[in-house]
């Protein structure tokens, strides 16, 4: 297991934190050093957080994400616009489908919901052409 200490990865010995005693003694010092590192390495921190986010939520590596971007020509899978893209996944299975812009990704949740589509259709029929 790895931990981030002073901006460096440290190995935990057999799952036991070999720095536990040291950390307890020097908690304030370590927290200050970590805060200092985060302030002075914003780009690296952003990349680390991005990699962690992709891996934890979608089981994707940054390399896989970048390959998906390239395969989609850096465009949204629905509207084909070049915007910042998000990972689209099936909420029931967790399977990644592709990359979408925020607007299309948010809209997709309503398209998938059959009950919502029916209610929206009824609403539009009811109020179509009033104004």
Distance, in Å, from the CA atom of 131 to the CA atom of 118, rounded to the nearest integer, reads 22
> First-to-last CA distance in the chain?
63
- Cβ neighbours of residue 80 closer than 8 Å, sequence gap 6 or more: none
What does the pLDDT look like over 3-37, one tens digit per residue?
555 555 554 555 455 567 777 888 898 889 889 99
| Distance, CA of 21 to CA of 13 (rounded, Å) | 13
Strand partners, 3: 10
pLDDT in tens, 48-67: 999 999 999 999 999 999 99
pTM for the whole thing?
Answer: 0.65
Mapped onto helix, strand or coil, the DSSP state of residue 26 is coil
Q: Which tens digits make up the pLDDT trace of 86-116? A: 999 988 888 999 999 999 999 888 888 888 8
């Amino acid at each position: 297991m790895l931990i981030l200490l002073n901006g460096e990865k440290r190995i935990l010995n057999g799952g036991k934190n070999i720095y536990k005693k040291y950390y307890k003694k020097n908690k304030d010092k370590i927290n200050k050093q970590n805060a200092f590192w985060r302030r002075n390495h914003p780009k690296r921190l952003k990349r680390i957080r991005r990699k962690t986010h992709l891996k934890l939520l979608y089981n994707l590596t940054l390399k896989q994400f970048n390959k998906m971007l390239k395969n989609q020509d850096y465009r949204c899978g629905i509207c084909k616009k070049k915007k910042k893209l998000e990972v689209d996944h099936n909420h029931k299975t967790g399977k990644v489908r592709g990359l979408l812009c925020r607007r299309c990704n948010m809209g997709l949740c309503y398209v998938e919901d059959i009950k919502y589509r029916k209610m929206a259709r009824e609403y539009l029929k009811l109020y179509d052409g009033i104004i």
